[in-house]
Amino acid sequence: RDGVVQTVKVRLPERLYDEPERIHAFARGVLDRIQSLPGVKSASLINSAPFGRMFIRDDFDIEGQPKPTFDAGQPKIDAGYFKTMGIPLLAGREFTARDTAEAPKVAIVSERIVRECFPGGPGEALGRRVRMSNRGEWLTVVGVVADIRQMGLDREVQPMLYVPFQQERGGVVRFVSFVARTATPASTGEGI
């Protein structure tokens, strides 16, 4: 009814893409081309697409609270990801083009994290700060999205802590999945 989601996965060679700036420039260029293709309603990217084999999980902290007793998936995404994938925004905002490496560090959490860590609901999570794996900077929660089944329809819902792809500077992201919502199942991949 709302179109078809198509995915193109890319693995970037280390010898050519050894710095975050080069990876981000490549991703931005490809994403700009995809978004300009006829029939594309929206497009974005993620480093670990749903139902893929790669799924990065780790522990996390919430400022001022005991450490959660579960891990969370920690995908890096670009603006428009939730719209493209049809994942409802429950509170706050999605990432935008302004969430760059120079901007304040932000995160979006899934409703499972809210259920288990914020008894007051999605509104309580907004503005709170989270940190991944006892390291790195604190990230301000700017949004809450619906749960997804990241590992497959037959698997349980995974808690997710999304961060902007353009703010990722620590670990070099070599796997990128471009996602596009098109009006019909056309061959978007040919236009890239």
Q: Could you read off the pLDDT of 123-169 as tens digits, one per residue?
A: 999 999 999 876 678 999 999 999 987 666 667 778 999 999 988 76
Query: Using CA atoms, how far apart are residues 94 and 101, in angstroms rounded to an integer?
Result: 16
DSSP 160: B
Of 176 and 17, which is predicted with more confidence? 176
DSSP, collapsed to helix, strand or coil, labels residue 146 as coil
| pLDDT of the residue at 2 | 77
The DSSP line for 164-178 is EGGG--SS---EEEE
Q: Could you read off the pLDDT of 18-73 as tens digits, one per residue?
A: 777 888 888 889 999 999 999 999 999 998 777 665 567 789 999 999 999 999 98
| pLDDT of the residue at 160 | 93
